[in-house]
Amino acid sequence: MNRSEPYYLVCIGCGSKYSPSEVIYKCSKCGDLLSVEYDRKLMRNEVALRWRARALSVWRYAELLPIGDRSKIVSLGEGGTSLNRCNRLGRYLGLREVYIKNEGENPTGSFKDRGMTVGVTKALEMGMKRVACASTGNTSASLAAYAARAGMECIVLIPSGKVALGKLVQALIYGARVIQVRGNFDDALKMVEELCMIQPIYLLNSINPYRLEGQKTIAFEIWDQLGGRIPNKVIVPVGNAGNISAIWKGFRELYIMDLAKDLPRMVGVQAEGAAPIANMIKRGLNEIKFVEKPETVATAIRIGSPVNWKKAIRAIRESGGVAETVSDEEILSAQRLLAKMEGIFVEPASAAAIAGLIKLAKNGLVEQDDLIVCVATGHGLKDPDIILKQFERPVEIEVDVNTLIKILST
Ligand code: F0G
């Protein structure tokens, strides 16, 4: 292993170490997931000061990101999303301090951009010319954009007919080769993993540990935006389970580096019809039972065999967190509530986190004084169809003010 870089890959199962220059996604000895680790001694002294001098963004935290040559970064201005205190929602739930981290503000409208700026830069660094992913929509939209930005060819596999319209049009306009698979996300992921083993194509699903490094900056930003305070609970919607693992890694790194004094409890929320991780946690099992035919209105998290399940289970259990399941009805109702009450329009998968918070509050599983952050992962405009299905067509009138006044008085 070449130790000239200040970071390396480590297997979360057997601890084997790999050089960052190897194109590798799983441990070649035991097949387990890989994680990026840093030479902390080198880092600790320099980071805090340097971070303060830069704007809030993914790259503010460059010292804890696995990139060698920073002049080659592929960026669209990702990160730096707002953390909105939601007093009305908080009052409604009897909670003092609730925040929404609005990841819909990212360049392609989801948190995936944080991972892709790092992942695609890495692909470029490694001399790869083609990138690929399987996706329920947001990953493909994001990868397509960053690949275009880097001048790379992009291949995306999506479950046929199960990707929200806004996400599909993004992948198309950014010039990706879009292939619909007659199967679900889990089938598409298996196919693309195989493809990337056979051909020199760089895989950018969240099994790629570099992508998660970008996503961990959600934790760094929350810590920064709260002036160094750490939330009691961070609530995250879970699909392929990369994001909750990444956010936990971010908080742990702050803690290990003595930049934060506490750790949050991680709360994972899944849709009832696609909840292998939440079910495993709630039942206290040691093995996961994958869901063969996942189903939910929140198509972004319509996933039955999450590849990062081990990391996610570790994040929830290590942090003393919990998992919750929510129904489609609860998801859509939370989506409407958040939009109407706080002016924040999120897609259904993101609303799952809010639905989870509502359920925990009802069941007394959050304290009134808890500092709570819900991660709203994607913008509501991604999936306009689901909204149109719930609302009647707006009333139509002639060009006549009297009619308008009459209508408004009813
Ligand atoms: N929220 C949104 C809006 C998502 O798009 C995803 C995942 C998640 C939550 C769950 O995150 O997979 O890290 O647990 N979307 C992936 C995709 C699967 O293909 O866009 P996760």
Confidence band, pLDDT 50/70/90 cuts, at residue 46 = confident
Question: What is the structure's pLDDT at 47?
Answer: 85
CA of residue 298 to ligand 1 center, whole Å: 10
Which residues, listed in sequence order, are joined to residue 97 by a DSSP beta bridge?
Answer: 371
Query: Can you give the pTM of this predicted structure?
Result: 0.97
Using only the alpha carbons of the chain, give its radius of gyration. 21
Q: Measured between alpha carbons, how far is 205 from 211 in angstroms, rounded to an integer?
A: 8
Binding pocket residue ranges, ligand 1, CB within 6 Å: 110, 112, 135-139, 206, 237-243, 300-301, 347, 349-350, 377-378
How far apart are alpha carbons 140 and 160 in whole angstroms?
A: 13
Which 3 state secondary structure label does DSSP give 265? strand
Ligand 1 centre to CA of 81 (Å) is 17
pLDDT in tens, 276-333: 999 999 999 999 999 999 999 999 999 999 999 999 999 999 999 999 999 999 999 9
Atom of ligand 1 nearest to the CA of 303: 18
* Ligand 1 atom nearest to 141, measured from its CA: 20
Ligand 1 closest atom vs CA 133: 19
pLDDT band at 2 (very low <50, low <70, confident <90, very high): very low
Residue 50 alpha carbon to ligand 1 centre in Å = 31
CB 357 within 8 A of CB 351: no
> Which residue's CA is the closest to the ligand 1 atom numbered 12?
240
Task: Give the atom of ligand 1 at the shortest distance from the alpha carbon of 239.
Answer: 14
Phi, psi of 159 (to 5 degrees): -70, 125
Tokens of 295: 């189903």
Rounded to whole angstroms, the Cα distance separating 410 from 395 reads 12
Mean pLDDT, all residues of the chain: 96
- Find out whether 337 and 63 touch, Cβ atoms under 8 Å: no
| Residue of the CA atom closest to atom 3 of ligand 1 | 378
Whether pLDDT at 107 is above 90: yes
Residues 330-365: pLDDT tens digits?
999 999 999 999 999 999 999 999 999 999 999 999
Give the DSSP letter string of 168-222: HHHHHHTT-EEEEESS-HHHHHHHHHHHHHHSS-EE-STTSHHHHHHHTHHHHHH
DSSP annotation of 380 = G
